[in-house]
Amino acid sequence: MRIGIDLTFIRPDHTNGGTESVIKNLMKGIERLQMKGEMTDEVLFFIHTSLYKEYRRTFPSLKFKPYKMPGKHALRMILFQTLYLPKLANKEGIDVMFFPTFQTGLNRFDMPVVCDPNDIQFRYYPDNFSKAKWIYYHIFYKSSLKKASRIIYISDYVKGSYEKYYKRYIKDKGVTLYTPIDFRLLSKEQGMTENLKKMIKPGDYILSINSLQKHKNLITLLRAYERYINDFRDKGEIPEKRLILAGARCNSANEIDDFIESHDLTDFVTVTGFLKEEEIAWLYQNASLFITTSTYEGFGMTPVEAMAAKCPVISSTETSLPEATLNMVTYYENAYDDRALYEAIKSELAIKRNTPKEMKAINERREAVESKYNIDKVTADYLRVIREAAGVSDASGVAGDSGVAGIQSDTGVAKKGKNEDEEDLYRGLYRYSRERSEENGKKMPGSEEEFIEYVKSNPETDRQSLKERAIALSGIRNQVGLRKIAKKLPQGVQDKLRRVFS
C-alpha cells in the first residue's frame, strides 16, 4: 500500500512550532520501522522545493515528491493542496492521504483522508487572531473534518474541544493518539555547539523552550524571574541562575524584547531564536529547572522532553499540560500569577537533587514518559489508524510479534522477488546496525550502498566474509553482538538471517 503524507504546511522559516516537531518525530518513527524491517508499506512525502534538500539530508532513506510553486507560503499551500495535490496523489498511486494539520485544501480526494488537526486555539483565544484569520481557520478546520475518514486527536483534552465545537463533523471518526517523541538525543550527552557558545554565558540557568507566541505566556515567566533576581539585587549579589528562552520568534517576540530591555534584564535573560535539535537537547541536559507557563497546549511536548532529560519541571495547569506530563511534575496556578510561579521557582531550586529519593523520582518520571510516548509504538499506532482508514488490515503493513508481514493480495501490489527481498533484508540489517551504533556514540564506517554492493558481488556461499563485513560495518566486534541485534529484529527477518548466516 502507498501512503501519502503532506508536508506543505511547513514554513521555510520553521515557525510552525510543535506541529513541525511532531511530524519530524513521526518521520523518524517511520524510518526506524523501515530500518528494522517492520514496515512494508511505501510512504511518499509531498514537500515544497524550498525545504526538500534540508529534509532529504535529515531523512535520507525516506521518499519525497518535491513540488515547485512560487508565491508566499500560505497562498501556495492552499493552491497546491486544493488544485494540484488531489491529482498528484492519484498519479502517484496513493491509497490513503495523511495530513498532520487541519490544512488539507478545499477540494476532495479520491482516496481516504486521515487528519491530525491539532488544537483549536483560535476558538478559545479569538483575540489573538484577526477576524480574517479566524474565518480562515474556521473554514479550513470544517473542510478538513468533513472530508476526513479518520481524525487523530493529540490528547483527550483536544478530543473534548472538538466534541464541543465540531461534534456534527467528527462522529465515529476520532481516536486519541499521543505525540511520538524521539528521546535518543536526550539519552546521549550532547556537546555545546559553537553557536551556543556564542550566545550562552557560563553558569547555571533556568530554561523555557517555546515559540515566542502570546499564548505561551512568557511575560508571566519574565515577571516571576524578575522577582527571583530582585532577591539577589536587594543583597547586592549576582543572581545564581540566568534565564534562557529558546524558540522561534513569533507574535510575542517584540513584546518580550521590550520587557527584557525596559526591566533591565538584558544581562540575565538570553533569547536564542530557532535552534537545532542537538542544541535543544544540550539545553535540556544542562538546565537547573525547566518552566512552561503556557495557557493553551493541545499536547505540550517540551515539558515531556525535559522530564526525559531528567530536568525538574514547573508547569501551569492549563489545558492538556497535566495530561501530557502525567501529573508527575510541579504545577502552579493560575497561569498568569507570577508570584505563585516565583514561589514555585524558589521551592524547586531549594531541593537537593542528588539524594536517593530525588534521584528515584527523577528516574521514574523519565521512564514514565519514555514508555508512554515511545516513538516506535506511537508511530505504529498512527500507521494502524491510517491503514484502517484505507480499509486494509494492519497486519500487512507493520509487523507484529509474528514477524514481517506479507503484502495483502487485494492491495494490487505484486510480491517482491527473492533477490529484491534479500536486498531489503540486508538494507534493513545495515540501517538497524547503523542506528544501534549511533546510539552507542559510534559512526558506521561504510555506506548502505557499499554494503549492498558487497553483498551482491560476493557468492552466496561466502557466508563467513559476509558475516565479517556485516559485523565490521555495524561497528560490532563479534558475532555475539550481531546475534543480539538480530534478536531485536522481527521474527521473519531473524529466520532469513539464520538461513543466510548459517
SS3 letters for 34-48?
Answer: HHCCCECCEEEEEEE
State residue 394's pLDDT score: 57
Residue 492 has pLDDT above 60, yes or no: no
CA atoms within 13 A on the CB side of 65: 19
Place of cell 509474528: 402
State residue 403's pLDDT score: 30
Q: Which three cell numbers stand for residue 386?
A: 491510517
Backbone region of residue 346 per phi and psi (left: phi > 0; alpha: psi in -120 to 50; beta: other values): alpha
Higher pLDDT, 376 or 481: 376
The pLDDT tens digits for 12-23 are 888 777 789 899
Average the pLDDT over 61-84 and give the result.
Answer: 94
Average the pLDDT over 184-193 and give the result.
Answer: 86
Domain boundaries, the chain: 2-176, 184-372, 416-501
pLDDT interval class at 381 (50, 70, 90): very high
State residue 413's pLDDT score: 33
pLDDT interval class at 488 (50, 70, 90): low
Rg for the chain (alpha carbons), in Å? 24
With b meaning 16 or more CB within 10 Å and e meaning fewer, what string describes 168-177?
ebbeebbeeb
* C-alpha span between 104 and 85 (Å, rounded): 9
State residue 432's pLDDT score: 57
CA atoms within 13 A on the CB side of 18: 24
Average the pLDDT over 381-405 and give the result.
Answer: 67
* C-alpha span between 89 and 107 (Å, rounded): 13
The pLDDT tens digits for 250-283 are 888 999 999 999 999 999 999 999 888 899 999 9
Q: Give the pairing type, strands 96-99 and 113-115.
A: parallel
* C-alpha span between 61 and 431 (Å, rounded): 9
**Where does residue 329 rank: exposed (0-12), middle (13-18), buried (19+ CB within 10 A)?**
buried
Residue 128 has pLDDT above 60, yes or no: yes
* CATH 3.40.50.2000 corresponds to the domain 184-372: yes
- The DSSP string of 53-71 is HHHHHH-TTSEEEEE---S
Mean pLDDT lowest for which of 39-43, 161-165, 345-349, 430-434?
430-434
The whole-angstrom distance between residue 14's C-alpha and the CA centroid of its chain comes to 14
State residue 396's pLDDT score: 45
Average the pLDDT over 136-157 and give the result.
Answer: 95
Average the pLDDT over 137-147 and give the result.
Answer: 95
State residue 499's pLDDT score: 52
Q: What is the length of the chain? A: 502
State residue 410's pLDDT score: 29
Q: Which three cell numbers stand for residue 211?
A: 515559540
Is 184-372 in the same CATH topology as 2-176?
yes
- CATH of range 2-176; options 3.40.190.10, 3.40.50.2000, 3.30.230.10, 1.10.630.10: 3.40.50.2000
If you count DSSP H runs as helices and E runs as strands, how many of each does the chain have, helices first? 23, 13
